[in-house]
């Protein structure tokens, strides 16, 4: 087979792989029920002005990029039920870049495509991670030419700063490495300097966006005094955080295996340590030391900062773990793209393959669960509201962290329904994480609603707490069985 024929055959194979990837996740999207965090982001982007959005970013703890991306779709009326399509588009582009541009051997490309880093989490759950994936892949592609295309490279780093706080260290490492390149440049290229300046300004903007306002509650206390208190921990805390990987992305079969007195987790840590030791040895014994220093610097800044956030500020969920794997993919990508030493490339490839292979069981179980069981109770509750509430109804809610899950669907399905907060006594906008409101029992709630809306018969109360009893509350709907996420809802009609 001639070279052109092999190239065409390879491209056809990539197209088939990409089509399978998109079709697989499109199937899951038809069954997936979005999580409360996704609903909160959609609601915030939809119900605020641009000024209010930036003022409220500190409540969310996320920079502005994801909110600005989804804002036009939310404002123009795209249904929340199709929200996941945005993330699938981003991940489809990222998957194409991986297949056609990655310097990895074909088996490693396929493993990467169907691992936790690319599969299920980011293409199905509409969160900022789909944008992060695309940004990191573009940065990896530009790495060999970063000094020549410094403005574009710097712009991508600037956007990365605005994507997620956990990646601030990684983005900072990229800026620092680029600055060292500028220092080596005898001519002190102005474009290269601008490529450094752009992400620095973005980093300052991120700090300003997330600066805690005095009039909002602290969802996560990240003040200096709090961090200093958390520094007093024993080594067991670090070990627990590492072992916690089983609960986040690694399957339990390998982790819980026992080989005599040695557990699977311990063996895995030993294998990873030996691989890292072999990698350091290979780098130190060849001429690639100077070329790999920048890669090492970026990795140290990225993983060091991310682990610091996880240990001292906010552990987060398994969604955040995708950032660790994306940073690892970036580092191995740059090794393959810039270093010729076979030993370094081989060890790096094995390290990446092992890390990604261990995530496959978790991905399989998550997909199996999503296709076979209800994720929570928000979608069926929203379905009932859409199909049964009369036109012009008012849906009363209390400020609860489960409220966004239903109200996002309802706002998309029935724009004639007004959602009203019994706590703020205003139309509902979004939930303020960590806020505490006075306890309002059923009698007080009914009295408050009847005072606000006298004589109305089209008033309904959405409750996230079981056991609300009052003669003026008629139960219309409830979740028949409790679901694993404890997202259960009860809908009442408020009688005059």
- Residue 75 · residue 46 · CB < 8 Å: yes
Least confident of 215-224, 239-248, 370-379, 459-468: 239-248
Tell me whether residue 312 is exposed, middle or buried, using C-beta atoms within 10 angstroms of its C-beta: 0 to 12, 13 to 18, 19 or more.
middle
Nearest CA to 119 out of 20, 243, 37, 42 is that of 20
Residue 467 has pLDDT above 70, yes or no: no
Instruction: Please give the pLDDT value at position 122.
Output: 93
Instruction: Read off the pLDDT of residues 353-397 as tens digits, 9 standing for 90 and up.
Output: 999 998 888 888 888 888 887 777 888 899 999 999 999 999 999
Longest dimension (CA), the chain: 83
Mean of the pLDDT values across residues 240-262? Answer: 71
Grade residue 96 by pLDDT with cuts at 50, 70 and 90. very high
Mean of the pLDDT values across residues 87-109? Answer: 96
Mean of the pLDDT values across residues 404-412? Answer: 90
Mean of the pLDDT values across residues 256-264? Answer: 75
Q: What mean pLDDT, rounded, does the chain reach?
A: 87
Grade residue 227 by pLDDT with cuts at 50, 70 and 90. low
**Rounded distance, CA 406 to CA 89, Å?**
25
**Rounded distance, CA 475 to CA 477, Å?**
6
Q: What percent of the chain has pLDDT over 70?
A: 92
Mean of the pLDDT values across residues 395-409? Answer: 90
Instruction: Read off the pLDDT of residues 477-496 as tens digits, 9 standing for 90 and up.
Output: 987 666 666 778 899 999 88
Instruction: Please give the pLDDT value at position 231.
Output: 65
Instruction: Please give the pLDDT value at position 482.
Output: 63
Instruction: Please give the pLDDT value at position 268.
Output: 82
Residue 195 has pLDDT above 80, yes or no: yes
Nearest CA to 422 out of 399, 403, 402 is that of 399
Q: Which two tokens stand for residue 215?
A: 């009039």
Mean of the pLDDT values across residues 17-27? Answer: 95
Instruction: Read off the pLDDT of residues 415-443 as tens digits, 9 standing for 90 and up.
Output: 899 999 998 889 998 888 878 888 778 88
Cβ neighbors of 364 (< 8 A, separation 6 or more) are: none
Instruction: Read off the pLDDT of residues 266-277 as tens digits, 9 standing for 90 and up.
Output: 788 888 889 999
Instruction: Read off the pLDDT of residues 311-341 as tens digits, 9 standing for 90 and up.
Output: 778 777 778 889 999 999 999 999 999 988 8
Instruction: Please give the pLDDT value at position 399.
Output: 86
Nearest CA to 33 out of 462, 389, 380, 386 is that of 380
- Residue 124 · residue 87 · CB < 8 Å: yes
Residue 188 has pLDDT above 90, yes or no: no
Q: Which two tokens stand for residue 403?
A: 């409220």
Grade residue 251 by pLDDT with cuts at 50, 70 and 90. confident
**Rounded distance, CA 81 to CA 34, Å?**
8
Please report, for the chain, the start and end positions of each structural domain, with discontinuous segments joined by +.
3-31+83-371, 378-494
Residue labelled with tokens 């219309």: 476
Grade residue 213 by pLDDT with cuts at 50, 70 and 90. confident
Residue 238 has pLDDT above 70, yes or no: no
Supply φ then ψ for residue 397, to 5 degrees.
-130, 155
Answer whether 0.85 is exceeded by the pTM: yes
Mean of the pLDDT values across residues 183-201? Answer: 85
Grade residue 204 by pLDDT with cuts at 50, 70 and 90. very high
Residue 18 has pLDDT above 70, yes or no: yes
Instruction: Read off the pLDDT of residues 113-170 as tens digits, 9 standing for 90 and up.
Output: 999 999 998 999 899 999 999 999 999 999 999 999 999 999 999 999 999 999 999 9
Instruction: Read off the pLDDT of residues 268-311 as tens digits, 9 standing for 90 and up.
Output: 888 888 999 998 888 887 776 667 889 999 999 999 999 888 87
Grade residue 73 by pLDDT with cuts at 50, 70 and 90. very high
Mean of the pLDDT values across residues 39-60? Answer: 90
3-state secondary structure the chain: CCHHHHHHHHHHHHHHHHHHHHHHHHHHHHHCCCCHHHHHHHHHHHHCCHHHHHHHHHHHCCCCHHHHHHHHHHHCCCCHHHCHHHHHHHHHHHHHHHHHHCCCCHHHHHHHHCCCCCCCHHHHCCCCHHHHHHHHHHHHHHHHHCCCCHHHHHHHHHHHHCCCHHHHHHHHHHHHHHHHHHHHCCCCCHHHHHHHHHHHHHHHHHHHHHCCCCCCCCCCCCCHHHHHHHCCCCHHHHHHHHHCHHHHCCCHHHHCCEECCEEHHHHHHHHHHHHHHHHHHHHHCCCCHHHHHHHHHHHHHHHHHHHHHHHHHCCCCCCCCHHHHHHHHHHHHHHHHHCCCHHHHHHHHHHHHHHHHCCHHHHHHHHHHHHHCCCCCHHHHHHHHHHHCCCCCEEEECCCCCHHHHHHHHHHHCCCCEEEECCCCEECCCCCCCCCCCCCCHHHHHHHHHHHCCCCCCEEEEECCCCCCCCCEEEEEECCCCCCCCCCCEEEEECC
Residue 27 has pLDDT above 70, yes or no: yes
**Rounded distance, CA 322 to CA 319, Å?**
6
């Amino acid at each position: 087979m001639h070279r052109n024929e092999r190239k065409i055959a390879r491209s056809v194979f990539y197209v088939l792989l990409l089509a399978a990837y998109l079709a697989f996740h499109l199937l899951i999207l038809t069954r997936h029920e979005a999580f409360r965090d996704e609903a909160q982001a959609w609601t915030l982007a939809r119900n605020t002005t641009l000024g209010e959005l930036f003022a409220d970013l500190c409540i969310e703890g996320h920079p502005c990029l994801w909110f600005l991306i989804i804002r036009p779709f939310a404002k123009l009326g795209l249904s929340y039920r199709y929200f996941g399509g945005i993330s699938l588009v981003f991940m489809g582009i990222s998957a194409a870049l991986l297949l056609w541009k990655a310097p990895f051997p074909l088996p490693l490309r396929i493993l990467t495509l169907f691992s936790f880093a690319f599969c299920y989490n980011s293409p199905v759950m509409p969160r900022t991670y789909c944008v992060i994936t695309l940004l990191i892949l573009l940065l990896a592609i530009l790495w060999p030419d970063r000094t020549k295309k410094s403005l574009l490279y710097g712009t991508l780093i600037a956007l990365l700063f605005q994507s997620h706080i956990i990646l601030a260290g990684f983005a900072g490492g990229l800026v620092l490495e680029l600055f060292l390149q500028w220092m080596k440049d005898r001519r002190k290229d102005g474009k290269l300097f601008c490529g450094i300046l752009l992400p620095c300004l973005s980093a300052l903007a991120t700090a300003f966006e997330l600066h805690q306002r005095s009039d909002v509650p602290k969802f996560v206390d990240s003040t200096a005094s709090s961090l200093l208190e958390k520094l007093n921990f024993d080594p067991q805390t670090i070990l627990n955080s590492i072992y916690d990987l089983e609960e986040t992305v690694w399957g339990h079969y390998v982790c819980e295996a026992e080989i005599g007195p040695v557990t699977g987790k311990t063996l895995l840590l030993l294998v990873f340590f030996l691989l890292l030791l072999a990698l350091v040895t290979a780098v130190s014994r060849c001429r690639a030391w100077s070329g790999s220093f920048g890669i090492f610097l970026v990795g140290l800044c990225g993983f060091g900062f991310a682990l610091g956030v996880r240990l001292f500020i906010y552990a987060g969920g398994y969604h955040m773990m995708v950032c660790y794997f994306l940073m690892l993919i970036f580092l191995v990508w740059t090794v393959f793209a810039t270093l010729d030493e076979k030993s370094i490339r081989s060890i790096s490839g094995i390290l990446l393959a092992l890390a990604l292979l261990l995530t496959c069981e978790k991905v399989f179980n998550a997909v199996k669960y999503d296709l076979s069981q209800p994720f929570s109770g928000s979608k069926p509750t929203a379905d009932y509201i859409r199909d049964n509430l009369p036109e012009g109804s008012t849906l009363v809610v209390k400020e609860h962290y489960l409220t966004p899950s239903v109200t996002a669907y309802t706002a998309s399905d029935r724009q004639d329904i007004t959602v009203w907060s019994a706590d703020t006594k205003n139309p509902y906008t979004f939930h303020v994480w960590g806020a505490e409101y006075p306890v309002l029992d059923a009698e007080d709630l009914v009295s408050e609603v009847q005072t606000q809306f006298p004589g109305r018969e089209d008033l309904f109360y959405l409750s996230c707490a079981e056991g609300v009893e009052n003669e003026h509350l008629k139960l219309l709907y409830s979740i028949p069985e409790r679901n694993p996420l404890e997202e259960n809802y009860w809908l009442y009609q408020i009688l005059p």
